[in-house]
A and B are shown apart, each in its own frame.
Chain A
Amino acid sequence: MLNKLALSGIKNRLRDYIVLFSGLIISSAIFYMFMALATNKSFITNNAAGSNAKIVFMFGAVLLMIITFVYVSYANSFLLSMRKRDYATFMMLGAKGSKISQLIFIETITIGITATAVGIIAGVGLTAGVGNALINMLGVSSKNFSAFYFPAIVDTLAFFMIVFLIASLVNAIKMSKKPILELLHSNQIPNRNKTKFSIQILQTIIGIGSLAVGYWAMASIKDLKLSALPIALVAIVIGSYLLFNAVVVVIINLLKRNLNFANKNLRNFTLSQINFRIHSYTMILSTVSILFALALGAITVGMGFKNEIPEIADKGVTYDVVTHSQDTQTKKLTSKLTGVKEQVTYTYKVAGNEVYFINTEFNDNPILYPKRDSRGLISDNKYEKITPKSMSKNETEYSYALIDLINGVTDYENTKINFVTKTSFSQLSGKPQTFTTFKLKDFQTNLKQAKQIQMHENKLFPKSDLYGSSKYDMYEQNMGLLGGLAFMGYFLGLAFLAMLASTLMFKILAGADYDKGRYRMLKRMGVRQSLLKNSIRSELAVLFGLPAALGIVHVLFGLQFFKILLIDPYAGIMLPFIAFIIIYLIYYLITVWLYEKIVMND
């Protein structure tokens, strides 16, 4: 009997369930996709991204788990809010508390399992599409990658089962503790704001204060080290919460007090609607602002990493390509390089611990020795010239730099560099060897050629002989770490965005049924349709806009944090910001559309 009632309850609110369901499906699909990529051994070990990426992915997975947990909790309280009245009615009809708890438990778990199962199927499809697109974008090879990956299915199922188990228990306990009357009228709590003005001012000050502390902590990552992260997180969470709790309410009340502003059209109603909501929305708005910041931050940083891969490689190594004792194959390969600005060949001989160069070669084309900044990157094409004369200026460093370029010397400390005339050089015993340096206009466009040259060099000379890393080696290593970070940034950004926007959507649409009466009433009173729509749009715009605005501020300060990893975290932030805002705007428009459909149709 009760089961029948429960089912009919679902039928009555099919639309809300569809919203809830699709949200859960999206989150489990995203989770699966991430796990499929992060834990797929054949993918990770078989590509250049390699082992560095694995650590990075695991870190991302932990973040994703946290965010998914928060999201599922919201979805569940939405579910509970939908069923509250039904459950209260059952209780009035005489159903026992334990029976109700059991019902809630079964219902939550059923919804959880179904959504997760559908989500995994969707996730496989998503992985095949979006996953591959992202992989291609990063230029990582993915021969062994398949969208269907069994361990990821197990992980996703297990994780969601645990989350839903916790959620169902919480739901069941929550319901059994509430008095029936409160459940029946929980939507109609009076909204008078009883907080004193002075307390609100105090909250505002503390709120802004903790935000300042949080932002400071992120900017001071160098001094605070790892403790910057928890300090920033806690301070920003508290700050966001207080800001929404106090500041927005104060502003709205000031606006309402300005009768010339408020007593126009529906403004008073709109302001009150916002005010009415802000109280129950404080939690979710601060959560959304932080999720928004995390998502936008992840995408911005991801793009930053992606953009900086060539730059970091570029600034890490002086010469784009260096070859040793060219054979015909090397010559063939290097002839394919495009945009060669400079190509110089140097001759040398190795005898014991002595290395001999020809001084005229160095006088004509000195080897460049880069000036590096604190992160070891070459600062703005600043080079010192290594010539026979300048050698004494910085003998050890210069000789290390030269040994890096040659083949066959492993003992950096005891090797001595000598410059001799061409005639003396020819009289020296030992086989003359050469190395050739190339400077290119654009390393990125020569990636393929650089790779082939590198592979050929590796074949000619066993790895142990060539100590200095080539630009291509550097590029590939960065690809592993930074490419992984970039990939994760995009991924988490999209996941967070999808979840935060649907969390907000849930919350707003959950209240729509209740608002329906209000709009019907206003229509009856003779309020023009256009005014009603205006009111709805402004109200939702404020609810979407406030956390977005605060989120953007969070990101702008939060990027300070990445100064330790990125050359310039603020470079090129316009693109991710604009892209992100457009997607967020689409969510807003969908919510407006759904909301208007619910409250306006009569």
Chain B
Amino acid sequence: MNAKKVVEINEVTKTYGKKNQKQYQALKGVSFEVESGEFVGIMGASGSGKTTLLNILSTLDKPTSGSVKINGNDVTELKGNQLADFRSSEIGFIFQDFNLLESLTARENIALPLSLQNVSPKEIAPKVESIAKTLGIESILDSYPTEVSGGQKQRIAAARALVHNPSVLFGDEPTGALDSQSATELLDTMRKLNEQQQVSILLVTHDPYSASYAKRILFIKDGQIGTELTRGDKSQQDFYQEILVELGTFQD
């Protein structure tokens, strides 16, 4: 196996609070890798450190110690404009709270990452159309975020995260604010993106059903990675059961 690694993190710790103040260690030495084209889930209860981990992976926050490589680049060394540029070219995210700009239409929201890289308008238009088609939101491209449903908002956010072909897509509970129907649709789309377009995905969630869409699941508890489950040839239903069982033992 010599596939390219999109995420490599090694012994990452994160301590909140300044010295002399009350400190809290949210991550206690986390290490794992994600290969190109993988769909990895990170599962854990609320407060286990998932968001902390994802913020560090997506360069929004810095680890207290340890190394983080995205697509082969050490991101802990990046600063200022370099960091911003790296983020805008290599990484795509979807958050629980949509994070769309209400003053822009769906089309303008999706085009934004390309505008930031000064891609010419001629190239922008077909790229936006194509990703919108993949995510099934062509009909609402000219609507404003306030005019569409939660599920549609999250698809717009996904389209915006993917339009510039990032190395990896990070999702922090992207289905958290959706009804089960919309959640399933979004997860199906993510799976389709992963299987058909080989998009690397790292999904963080506390919801076993969302996690069952991943091919591999890492369990996190109190800032440490515990067990790892791989779906292999199992059906999604069986994998879901396995997750539930694992959760039962893992939580105790």
Contact = CB atoms under 8 A, between A and B. Distances in A.
A268 B108 contact: yes
Contact of A526 (B85, B101, B102, B120): B85
Interface stretch (B28-36, B45-53, B87-95): B87-95
Contacts of A530: 81
B89 A272 contact: no
Contact of B87 (A263, A517, A525, A531): A525
Given A192-B144, A273-B103, A268 B115 contact: yes
Contacts of A521: 99, 101
Contact of B91 (A192, A272, A523, A526): A526
B147 A275 contact: no
Interface string A180-193: 00000000111110
A269 B112 CA distance: 8
Given A524-B87, A526-B85, A528-B84, A191 B116 contact: no
Chain A interface mostly: helix
A268 B104 contact: yes
A103 B85 CA distance: 50
Interface in B124-156: 124, 144, 146-147
Interface residues of A, number: 31
Interface in A184-226: 188-192
Given A190-B144, A528-B81, A530-B81, A276 B86 contact: no
B147 A192 contact: yes
Nearest to B114: A263
A259 interface: yes
B144 A527 contact: no
A267 B118 CA distance: 11
B36 to A, nearest CB: 21
Given A190-B144, A272-B108, A264 B84 contact: no
A189 B99 CA distance: 16
A523 B104 CA distance: 16
A597 interface: no
B229 to A, nearest CB: 30
A526 B116 contact: yes
Contacts of A265: 115-116, 118
Contacts of B158: none
Contacts of B120: 260, 263
B144 A263 contact: no
Looking at chain B, what size class is its interface with the partner chain?
A: 20 to 34
Contact of A269 (B81, B83, B104): B104
Contacts of A273: 103
A37 to B, nearest CB: 47
A269 B85 CA distance: 18
Given A188-B102, A259-B121, A525 B146 contact: no
A518 interface: yes
Given A190-B146, A526-B89, A528-B85, A263 B103 contact: no
Contacts of A523: 84
B108 A264 contact: no
B232 interface: no
A525 B113 contact: yes
Contact of A266 (B89, B102, B114, B115): B115
A276 B88 CA distance: 25
B80 interface: yes
B103 A525 contact: no
Nearest to B145: A190
Given A526-B84, A528-B85, A529-B80, A266 B104 contact: no
A527 B116 contact: yes
B100 to A, nearest CB: 8
Interface in B60-87: 60, 80-81, 83-87
Interface string A269-289: 100110110000000000000
B178 interface: no
Nearest to B61: A602
A572 to B, nearest CB: 44
Interface in A514-542: 517-518, 521-531
A190 B102 CA distance: 8
Contact of B60 (A191, A260, A522, A524): A524
A528 B84 CA distance: 5
Nearest to B146: A190
Contacts of A259: 121, 124
B102 A191 contact: yes
Contact of B103 (A267, A269, A524): A269
Contact of B116 (A517, A524, A525): A525
B121 A263 contact: yes
A524 B99 contact: yes
B220 interface: no
B186 interface: no
A194 to B, nearest CB: 12
B43 interface: no
B146 A188 contact: yes
A203 B24 CA distance: 60
Nearest to A602: B60
Kindly name the residue among A189, A260, A523, A524 whose own CB sees the greatest number of chain B CB atoms within 10 A. A524
25 contacts: A188-B102, A190-B144, A191-B144, A192-B144, A259-B124, A260-B120, A263-B121, A264-B115, A265-B118, A268-B108, A268-B112, A268-B115, A269-B103, A269-B104, A272-B104, A272-B108, A275-B103, A524-B93, A525-B87, A525-B88, A525-B112, A526-B89, A526-B91, A528-B80, A529-B84
Interface of A: 188-192, 259-260, 263-269, 272-273, 275-276, 517-518, 521-531
Given A192-B147, A531-B116, 6 more contacts: A188-B102, A259-B121, A260-B121, A525-B112, A526-B91, A527-B84
Q: Name the 3 nearest CB pairs between A and B, nearest first.
A: A526-B88, A526-B87, A259-B121
